[in-house]
């Protein structure tokens, strides 16, 4: 397959931008990427796609989601965190999260992400087996973490069974499809005991899985960990042996210079969910410091209960702008740095950088085409500026995962959107808190 007549943002190590470029795809991988010169003839490929002057770039990587929570989009906003969690989100999960609702919440999340140019997500929730089936049906790529927490959880009423459920999920899905990668999602250092954290990390290591954990999210969490363990949340995790290159720390807001240096030394990765952290008033993760220390930082949208969308374009824009105003320095987190966080650095954060995150020969053919023939994307002096500061998810025209088109001219080819919207609407009508 050949895609031509677009401006290619490669996100390769030289951050090459190729005007009038083309991309050749073979066996699900990039076989050729180059400039489409005057004497270029459109090759006889099985399929030829004209990008019509748009932007061709890597599919976006969303490093933190809770897919079934798409069901709770806008259920409760503008509340103190404790009240939001205990009066709305936890009761809603207890009452309404079941296999069927998980399936449709997940499908809705996948539809929104795919149509908005996200080709890979890294999710953490319960009912991961149901989530995996739904994501598989959608055609997108995902790392899916089954949850571990010291409380009765959706689908796992007895916390003693958490680790077993994770291992069973991993065994079932480790060889089903290269697009679905099992993982473990250990909720946080304040909802899991030291013993649970240790067991969960051992389970992750035994299956060579990514270990995901929320940490240093709020000042309250920091105070609690410090008073219980006389150290910071990051150092506490390190004492248990959790910080290593297979660990993805999520949020990571309340950290000091020693914590950051420790994360860098251990090679652990970070996922920042800017808009959710703004909306919940958790704080501002020091991304410029993380990058200065060489830590891989990915962006995530978090779940729809706290964002309230899964649009990584908006997340990139907010991230670039927030850190400028926070440091009073307009040169901080420039457009290329933020684009990397949503592509190659995000891929590194979840351990998939050999396969995805940039348009390079030999990598998996995950790409998107942005339609730039729109009032808010004209004129175009710099395609990277447009991607960060002007485009939104609805500007994505085509989406390819592993060489297969899953969106063509804004039509999703893998799922029946109207059926999913109708099912979710029906489910939501019963949700009353």
Which residues from 77-116 bind a second copy, rule CB under 8 A? 77-81, 84, 108, 111-112, 115-116
Tokens read off for 343: 């592509």
Burial readout 101-138 (b: 16 or more C-beta within 10 A, e: otherwise): bbbbbbbbbbbbbbbbbbbbbbbbbbbbbbbbbbbbeb
Size of the site for a second copy (CB under 8 A): 71
Given 143, 144, 197, 420, the residue binding a second copy (CB under 8 A):
420
In whole angstroms, how close is the CB of 42 to a second copy at the nearest point? 24
In whole angstroms, how close is the CB of 69 to a second copy at the nearest point? 12
> What is the rounded distance in angstroms from the CA atom of residue 246 to the CA atom of residue 265?
13
Q: Which residue has the tokens 């960060």?
A: 388
What residues between 204 and 263 interact with a second copy by CB under 8 A? 219
> What is the rounded distance in angstroms from the CA atom of residue 425 to the CA atom of residue 411?
21
Say if CB 301 and CB 307 are below 8 A apart. yes
Instruction: Compare residues 87 and 360 and give the one whose CB is closer to a second copy.
Output: 87
Tokens read off for 199: 């067991």
In whole angstroms, how close is the CB of 431 to a second copy at the nearest point? 8
> What is the rounded distance in angstroms from the CA atom of residue 89 to the CA atom of residue 94?
9
Task: Bin 229: left if φ > 0, else alpha if -120 < ψ < 50, else beta.
Answer: alpha
Q: Which residue has the tokens 């180059």?
A: 34
- 122: enclosing H helix or E strand: strand 118-125
Q: Could you write out the three-class secondary structure of 393-407? A: HHHEEEEEECCEEEE
22 - beta bridge partners? Answer: 4, 34
Judged by CB under 8 A, the stretch of 72-80, 181-189, 259-267, 360-368 that binds a second copy is 72-80
In whole angstroms, how close is the CB of 329 to a second copy at the nearest point? 6
In whole angstroms, how close is the CB of 343 to a second copy at the nearest point? 18
Instruction: Compare residues 129 and 309 and give the one whose CB is closer to a second copy.
Output: 309
What residues between 146 and 205 interact with a second copy by CB under 8 A? none
Instruction: Compare residues 294 and 375 and give the one whose CB is closer to a second copy.
Output: 375
Instruction: Compare residues 343 and 364 and give the one whose CB is closer to a second copy.
Output: 343
Instruction: Compare residues 286 and 351 and give the one whose CB is closer to a second copy.
Output: 286
DSSP alpha helices (H): ranges in 328-416?
335-341, 344-349, 383-389
Length reported for the chain: 433
In whole angstroms, how close is the CB of 95 to a second copy at the nearest point? 15
Instruction: Compare residues 177 and 425 and give the one whose CB is closer to a second copy.
Output: 425
What residues between 375 and 414 interact with a second copy by CB under 8 A? 375-376, 378-382, 385-386, 388-390, 392-395
Question: With the CA atoms of 40, 43, 47 and 49 taken in that order, what torsion angle do they form, in degrees rounded to the nearest 10?
Answer: 0
Say if CB 291 and CB 95 are below 8 A apart. no
In whole angstroms, how close is the CB of 396 to a second copy at the nearest point? 11
Question: Is 17 a residue that touches a second copy (CB under 8 A)?
Answer: no
Instruction: Compare residues 345 and 371 and give the one whose CB is closer to a second copy.
Output: 371
Instruction: Compare residues 235 and 323 and give the one whose CB is closer to a second copy.
Output: 323
Given 1, 24, 62, 73, the residue binding a second copy (CB under 8 A):
73
- Which sign does the torsion angle of CA 195, 200, 201, 202 carry? positive
What residues between 278 and 337 interact with a second copy by CB under 8 A? 278-284, 307-311, 314, 317-318, 320-322, 324-325, 327-332, 334-335
Instruction: Compare residues 354 and 376 and give the one whose CB is closer to a second copy.
Output: 376
What residues between 111 and 140 interact with a second copy by CB under 8 A? 111-112, 115-116
CA distances, 86 to each of 83, 91, 328, 346, 432 (Å): 5, 7, 36, 31, 14
């Amino acid at each position: 397959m050949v895609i031509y007549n677009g401006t290619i943002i490669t996100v390769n190590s030289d951050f090459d931008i190729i005007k009038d470029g083309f991309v050749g795809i073979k066996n699900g991988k990039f076989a050729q990427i180059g400039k489409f010169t005057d004497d270029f003839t459109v090759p006889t490929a099985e399929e030829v796609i004209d990008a019509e002057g748009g932007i061709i770039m890597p599919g976006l990587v969303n490093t933190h989601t809770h897919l079934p929570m798409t069901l709770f989009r806008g259920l409760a906003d503008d509340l103190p965190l404790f009240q939001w969690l205990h009066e709305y989100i936890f009761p809603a999960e207890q009452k309404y999260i079941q296999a069927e609702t998980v399936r449709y919440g997940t499908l809705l999340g996948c539809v929104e992400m795919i149509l908005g140019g996200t080709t890979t997500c890294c999710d953490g929730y319960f009912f991961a087996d149901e989530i995996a089936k739904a994501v598989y049906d959608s055609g997108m790529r995902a790392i899916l973490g089954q949850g571990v927490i010291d409380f009765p959880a959706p689908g796992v009423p007895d916390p003693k069974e958490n680790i077993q459920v994770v291992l069973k999920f991993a065994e079932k899905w480790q060889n089903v499809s290269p697009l679905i990668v099992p993982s473990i999602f250990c909720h946080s250092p304040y909802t899991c005991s030291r013993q649970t954290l240790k067991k969960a990390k051992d389970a992750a290591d035994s299956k060579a899985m990514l270990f995901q954990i929320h940490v240093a999210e709020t000042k309250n969490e920091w105070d609690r960990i410090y008073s219980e363990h006389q150290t910071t949340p990051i150092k506490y995790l390190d004492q248990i042996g959790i910080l290593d290159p297979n660990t993805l720390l999520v949020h990571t807001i309340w950290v000091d210079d020693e914590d950051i240096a420790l994360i860098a030394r251990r090679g652990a990765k970070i996922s920042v969910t800017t808009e959710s952290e703004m909306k919940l008033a958790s704080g501002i993760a020091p991304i410029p410091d993380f990058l200065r220390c060489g830590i891989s930082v990915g962006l995530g949208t978090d779940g729809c209960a706290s964002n309230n969308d899964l649009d990584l374009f908006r997340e990139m824009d907010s991230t670039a702008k927030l850190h400028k105003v926070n440091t009073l320095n307009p040169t901080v987190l420039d457009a290329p740095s933020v684009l990397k966080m949503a592509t190659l650095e995000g891929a590194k954060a979840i351990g998939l950088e050999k396969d995805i995150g940039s348009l390079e020969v030999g990598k998996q053919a995950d790409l998107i085409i942005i339609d730039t023939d729109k009032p808010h994307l004209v004129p175009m002096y710099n395609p990277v500026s447009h991607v960060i500061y002007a485009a939104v998810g609805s500007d994505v025209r085509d989406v390819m995962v592993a060489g297969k088109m899953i969106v063509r001219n804004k039509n999703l080819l893998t799922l029946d959107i109207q059926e999913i919207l109708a099912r979710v609407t029906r489910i939501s009508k019963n949700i009353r808190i």
